């Protein structure tokens, strides 16, 4: 309603207008419904938020396929039929109880986002030499087993506002899974890019998902796969390690391209130097996180000494054992303490905890902390090594 | 587990943090519970690649770097002992406002401080000086009047005389909309555009916006001066939490409250998600009233008045933001300003209509952090935020899990094009990192109904006075106080901090009163 009076014509009248508009307000309250208002959870955007980011998902192992030696694909079906939707390239972090330990491990999703609509995820697990969890999964997850995973997470995704239209994907070992998801998404037209995948393995029989990749490449012009074998020379395959020459051979000659890589640490160490020689902008290079480098502790001169880790959780104190050459998170996991963990690479920040006292080592390469977190002594336990006895507050 | 606390604060958002720190400062055994793994609510940051992005804060008012001794928020932070833990940067430039409608010829860059602002408006709108000065007089006197009202304990005829005598501009303006006051001064269009440029920060068009909200905001930005924290708003949140713990407060992160427990009309504790019950005498709730009255408190315990009050107001606009890490410096790109307001039209009512849907809305507040905090990102890069708002309730109702990412990207794409068109600066090819937050994101992190980021709509009929008075009336649950963006001070950082302070002060006063009775 417009007030026609000039606000500067009459003080009394305007005072009336200012304060005596109140009865109108009281009237509004008096007239209003006394029914319970709509809960935040009932709005469409809140529903979508809840569906994409459930706190935890219970999944049933529906099918197990042996891909190659010590590399299995698990088809998981959401117990309630609803698997949270995701972007190709994202991962699921599983919470796994092994003996007294409570571990979290991230596995990239190999299935397509559309499969999630039908309640299905696929992941692939490869046995890691001296790996604690991969071996456990391979030996213990049976069909019908119930497992728990957090909502999909991760930033290893194709983003057209940021990435080049053509992506050179570089996969090694279990690092094939996010690219398989991306290839499927291209095939199902939920992603729109040209993916040229360079997939490295020792021999032909070490290539997982080959039939599926070949099938998509055959039917879809936007996806191409090139197999690169390091230990055998075969017709129709590239030979050697994936480096700058191979990338240049398959990359577009006169257009921008992005390089996406996912694979083991040894591959990254080689590839990082090679990619540098390409002279492409940093924004076009993305390496998926694969945990903190196994060399971190050694390079920092941290030894196998044990130390005391005092853990404060909601005001309760508990003492556990840690090792100077293992991350604080490893100590927490071994002690069976539940910590909100996802990436285990320093990046996501879910495990952020307060370092109350003690000295720690954090490698620059895995230090993704916020400025204020560094200022106020917060750490990401997944990439932090105790240098001696420490006290942390996890919650 | 059954420990007894004097005060439990639910939620470590801006209101909750300050409430908790004030309570601990006064020696009360205080527990702060937050469901996320870090404090701050909206006041947070996140890292992508080599960039740390601010999640929400553009400019903070209430610190008052241009005012001797600072303004109210600085006083609160000083009292709590958090000021020394935060480094501020004061801004000399207020904003650059551009209309995408070329016929409107609006492209104004305005400085902070009264004299500089008036000079600049005179430059853009010759002959406007006298009216600009008058408007500043009104704004200053109205603020003084409001401050004076805040100090009054008991009304008397002397007080009325004083308000009418010394603060007549408050009386004459506070009950109107911004547009009505501009009309009364017969302010020319270009001057209106300059003075009205900030309207998006309140989210209500000038023909509906309460002048009382406007004059407090305008003064705090232009006259008192805005600041930004060097370590993002997460630096503020962390500093308050740190201080709270130094004062003996206990903070539990990653802990969710399931129920507020009420006995005989008074709160007596909270129940956590894991079933644990924590007993306490007082609760200061930083979760929204929607959460309080639809989830946290059993219906039978809620006074009807509170439900009716909640049903009588509307939700403020819903938020959209994108966070860009660019691989060129601001100078290389030609970004010359810290803060841009880009509108489809300077007609705020029309603009507000356009923001009802994604299809027609290009409105944005863009901030280049490097122009405020040099060195906030690595050499040769810069950070740019672009934020928009949606009015009405329907702009994102067509969203599903599957179409969501494409839909928010499509809108982000549009805003990038609009930014480039308005400023002539090309940013699209330099995007190294991008995150896009939509109402879905705010629904996720803030539990905000429909993704609103501004609490309740602050129209002329729901201004500060109306909020304070309707808040003081009606039946309440005993020993339960609210602090946050849905409070009496309305949306935003500074008001939320101050509601936290007021909630704690009110609770403490009540403790004393009841102790005196016994």
Q: Which pLDDT band holds residue A152 (cuts at 50, 70, 90)?
A: very high
Angle subtended by helix axes A22-31 and B464-472, to nearest 10: 60
Higher pLDDT: B384 or B314? It is B384
d(CA B378, CA B50): 7
State the pLDDT at residue B422: 98
**Which class is B4-86+230-313+461-517 in CATH?**
alpha beta
d(CA A24, CA A32): 12
pLDDT at residue A20 above 60? no
Tens digit of each residue's pLDDT (9 = 90 or more) over A244-271: 999 999 999 999 999 999 999 999 999 9
Alpha-helix runs per DSSP H in chain A: 11-19, 22-31, 44-52, 113-117, 133-140, 177-187, 210-219, 244-250, 265-276, 296-299, 328-334, 371-375
Strand order from edge to edge, sheet including A306-313: A316-323, A306-313, A390-393, A353-357, A378-379
How many C-beta atoms lie closer than 10 Å to residue A331's C-beta? 24
d(CA B162, CA B145): 9
Tens digit of each residue's pLDDT (9 = 90 or more) over A155-175: 999 999 999 999 999 999 999
B400 contacts A370? CB cut-off 8 A: no
When CB atoms are compared, the residue of A7, A29, A281 closest to B184 is A7
B-chain CB neighbours of A372 within 8 Å are 45, 231-232, 234-235, 237-239
Tokens in use for A117?
């609509």
State the pLDDT at residue B270: 98
Question: Is residue A56 within 8 angstroms of chain B, CB to CB?
Answer: no
When CB atoms are compared, the residue of B238, B431, B438 closest to A162 is B431
Q: Which pLDDT band holds residue A11 (cuts at 50, 70, 90)?
A: very low
Question: 3-state class of A180 per DSSP?
Answer: helix
Q: With 0-12 CB in 10 A as exposed, 13-18 as middle and 19+ as buried, what is B353?
A: middle
Query: What is the mean pLDDT of the segment spanning A115-138?
Result: 95
List of residues 6+ apart from A394 with CB closer than 8 A: A311, A312, A313, A332, A337, A339, A353, A381, B254
∠ Cα B44 B50 B56 (to 5°): 25
For chain A, the structural domain boundaries read 51-149, 166-287, 296-393
Assigned architecture for domain A51-149: Beta Barrel (2.40)
List of residues 6+ apart from B159 with CB closer than 8 A: B152
State the pLDDT at residue B460: 65
Q: Which of residues 119-138 of A touch B (CB under 8 A)?
A: none
Tens digit of each residue's pLDDT (9 = 90 or more) over A188-215: 999 999 999 999 999 999 999 999 999 9
When CB atoms are compared, the residue of A28, A35, A48 closest to B400 is A48
For chain B, the structural domain boundaries read 4-86+230-313+461-517, 115-224, 317-453
The chain A residue lying nearest B411, using CA atoms, is A161
Mutation site for B-interface testing, chosen from A29, A34, A112 by largest number of B Cβ within 10 Å: A29
Query: Could you tell me the pTM of the whole model?
Result: 0.95
Whether domain A296-393 has CATH 3.40.50.720: no
When CB atoms are compared, the residue of B294, B416, B469 closest to A39 is B294
How far apart are the two ends of chain B, measured CA to CA in Å? 29
- Greatest mean pLDDT range, B195-199, B209-213, B374-378: B374-378
Question: 3-state class of B275 per DSSP?
Answer: coil
Tens digit of each residue's pLDDT (9 = 90 or more) over B300-326: 999 999 999 999 998 999 999 999 999
When CB atoms are compared, the residue of A25, A33, A281 closest to B461 is A25
Kindly list the distances between the CA atom of residue B335 and the CA atoms of A87, A315, B160, B241, B422, in Å, as whole numbers in the listed order.
32, 48, 51, 35, 12
A-chain CB neighbours of B305 within 8 Å are 29
Tens digit of each residue's pLDDT (9 = 90 or more) over B56-78: 999 999 999 999 889 999 999 99
d(CA A126, CA B224): 61
A162 contacts B433? CB cut-off 8 A: yes
pLDDT at residue A184 above 70? yes
pLDDT at residue A178 above 70? yes
Which residue, among A173, A174, A172, A193, has the nearest Cα to A183 in the 3D structure?
A193
When CB atoms are compared, the residue of A28, A37, A371 closest to B235 is A371
State the pLDDT at residue B199: 86
The chain B residue lying nearest A52, using CA atoms, is B401
Query: What is the mean pLDDT of the segment spanning B472-476?
Result: 90
A166-287: CATH topology is Rossmann fold (3.40.50)
Q: Which pLDDT band holds residue A22 (cuts at 50, 70, 90)?
A: low
d(CA A239, CA A229): 5
Question: 3-state class of A30 per DSSP?
Answer: helix
B4-86+230-313+461-517 and B317-453: identical CATH topology: no
Q: Which of residues 231-290 of A touch B (CB under 8 A)?
A: 281-283
B317-453: CATH topology is Polyamine Oxidase; Chain A, domain 2 (3.90.660)
State what percent of residues in chain A have pLDDT above 70: 94
Measure in Å the smallest separation between the Cα of B227 and chain A Cα atoms. 17
pLDDT at residue A4 above 80? no
Query: What is the mean pLDDT of the segment spanning B39-47?
Result: 97
Q: Which of residues 19-48 of A touch B (CB under 8 A)?
A: 19, 21-22, 24-26, 28-41, 43-46, 48
d(CA A390, CA A356): 8
The chain B residue lying nearest A24, using CA atoms, is B461
B171 contacts A18? CB cut-off 8 A: yes
Tens digit of each residue's pLDDT (9 = 90 or more) over B105-125: 999 999 999 999 999 999 999
């Amino acid at each position: 309603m417009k007030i026609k009076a000039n606000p500067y014509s009459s003080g009394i009248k305007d005072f009336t207008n200012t304060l005596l508009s109140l009865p109108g307000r009281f009237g509004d309250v008096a007239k209003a419904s006394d029914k319970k208002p709509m809960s935040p959870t009932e709005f469409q955007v809140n529903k979508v938020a809840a569906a994409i980011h459930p706190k935890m998902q219970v999944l049933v192992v529906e099918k197990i396929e042996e891909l190659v030696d010590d590399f299995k694909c698990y088809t998981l079906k959401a117990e309630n039929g609803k698997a949270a939707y995701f972007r190709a390239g994202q991962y699921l972090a599983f919470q796994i109880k092994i003996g007294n330990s409570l571990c979290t491990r991230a596995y990239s999703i190999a299935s397509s986002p559309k499969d999630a609509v039908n309640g299905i995820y696929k992941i692939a697990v490869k046995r890691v030499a001296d790996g604690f969890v991969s071996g456990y999964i391979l030996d213990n997850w049976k069909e019908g087993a119930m497992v728990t995973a957090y909502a999909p997470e991760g930033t290893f995704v194709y983003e057209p506002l940021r990435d080049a239209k053509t992506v050179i994907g570089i996969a090694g070992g279990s690092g094939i899974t996010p690219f398989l998801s991306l290839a499927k998404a291209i095939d199902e037209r939920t992603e729109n890019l040209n993916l040229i995948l360079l997939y490295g393995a020792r021999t032909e029989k070490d290539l997982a998902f080959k039939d599926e990749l070949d099938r998509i490449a055959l039917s879809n012009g936007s996806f191409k796969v090139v197999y690169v074998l390091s230990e055998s020379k075969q017709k129709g395959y590239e030979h050697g390690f994936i480096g700058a020459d191979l990338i240049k051979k398959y990359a577009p000659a006169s257009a921008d391209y992005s390089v996406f890589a996912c694979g083991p640490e040894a591959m990254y160490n080689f590839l990082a130097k090679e990619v540098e020689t390409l002279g492409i902008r940093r924004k076009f290079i993305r390496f998926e996180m694969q945990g903190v480098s196994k060399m971190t502790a050694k390079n920092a001169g941290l030894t196998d000494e044990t130390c005391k880790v005092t853990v404060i959780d909601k005001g309760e104190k508990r003492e556990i054992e840690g090792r100077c050459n293992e991350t604080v998170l490893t100590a927490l996991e071994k002690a069976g303490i539940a910590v909100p963990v996802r990436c285990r690479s320093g990046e996501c920040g879910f495990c952020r905890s307060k370092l109350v006292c003690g000295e720690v080592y954090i490698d620059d390469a895995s230090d993704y902390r916020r400025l204020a977190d560094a200022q106020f002594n917060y750490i990401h336990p997944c990439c932090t090594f105790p240098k001696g006895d420490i006290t942390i507050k996890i919650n | 587990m059954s420990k007894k606390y004097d005060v439990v604060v639910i939620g470590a958002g801006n209101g909750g943090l300050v409430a908790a720190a004030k309570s601990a400062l006064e020696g009360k055994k205080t527990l702060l519970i937050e469901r996320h793994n870090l404090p701050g609510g909206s006041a947070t940051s996140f890292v992508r690649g080599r960039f740390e992005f601010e999640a929400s804060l553009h400019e903070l008012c209430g610190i008052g770097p241009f005012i001797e001794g600072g303004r109210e928020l600085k006083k609160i932070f000083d009292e709590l002992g958090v000021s020394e833990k935060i480094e501020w940067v004061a801004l000399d430039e207020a904003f650059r406002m551009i209309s995408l409608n070329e016929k409107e010829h609006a492209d104004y860059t305005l400085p902070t401080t009264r004299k500089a602002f008036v000079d600049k408006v005179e430059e853009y709108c010759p002959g406007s000086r006298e009216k600009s000065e008058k408007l500043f007089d009104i704004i200053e006197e109205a603020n003084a009047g409001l401050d004076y009202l805040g100090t009054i304990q008991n009304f008397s005829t002397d007080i009325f005389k004083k308000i009418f005598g010394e603060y007549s501009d408050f009386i004459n303006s506070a009950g109107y909309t911004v547009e009505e006051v501009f009309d009364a001064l017969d302010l020319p269009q270009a001057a209106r555009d300059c003075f009205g440029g900030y309207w998006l920060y309140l989210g209500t068009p000038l023909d509906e916006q309460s002048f009382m909200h406007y004059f407090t905001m305008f003064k705090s930005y232009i006259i008192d001066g805005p600041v930004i924290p060097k370590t993002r708003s997460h630096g503020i949140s962390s500093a308050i939490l740190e201080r709270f713990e130094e004062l003996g407060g206990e903070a539990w992160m990653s802990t969710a409250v399931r129920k507020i427990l009420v006995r005989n009309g008074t709160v007596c504790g909270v129940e956590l998600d894991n079933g644990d019950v924590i007993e306490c005498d007082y609760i200061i709730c930083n979760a929204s009233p929607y959460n309080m009255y639809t989830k946290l408190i059993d219906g039978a315990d809620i006074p009807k008045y509170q439900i009716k009050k909640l049903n009588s107001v509307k939700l403020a606009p819903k938020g959209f933001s994108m966070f860009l890490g660019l691989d060129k410096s601001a100078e290389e790109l030609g970004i010359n300003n810290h803060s841009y307001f880009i509108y489809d039209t300077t007609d705020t009512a029309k603009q507000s209509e356009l923001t009802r849907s994604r299809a027609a809305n290009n409105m944005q507040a863009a901030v280049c952090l490097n122009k405020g905090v040099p060195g906030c990102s690595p050499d040769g890069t810069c950070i740019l935020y672009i934020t928009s708002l949606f009015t009405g309730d329907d702009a994102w109702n067509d969203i599903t899990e599957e179409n969501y990412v494409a839909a928010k990207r499509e809108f982000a794409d549009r805003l990038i094009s609009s930014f480039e068109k308005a400023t002539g600066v090309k940013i699209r090819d330099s995007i190294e990192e991008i995150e896009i937050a939509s109402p879905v994101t705010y629904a996720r992190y803030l539990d905000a109904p429909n993704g609103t980021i501004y609490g309740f709509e602050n129209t002329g009929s729901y201004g500060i006075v109306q909020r304070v008075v309707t808040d003081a009336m009606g039946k309440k649950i005993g020993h339960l106080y609210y602090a946050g963006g849905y409070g009496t001070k309305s949306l935003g950082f500074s008001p939320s901090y101050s509601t936290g302070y007021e909630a704690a002060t009110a609770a403490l006063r009540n403790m004393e009163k009841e102790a005196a009775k016994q």
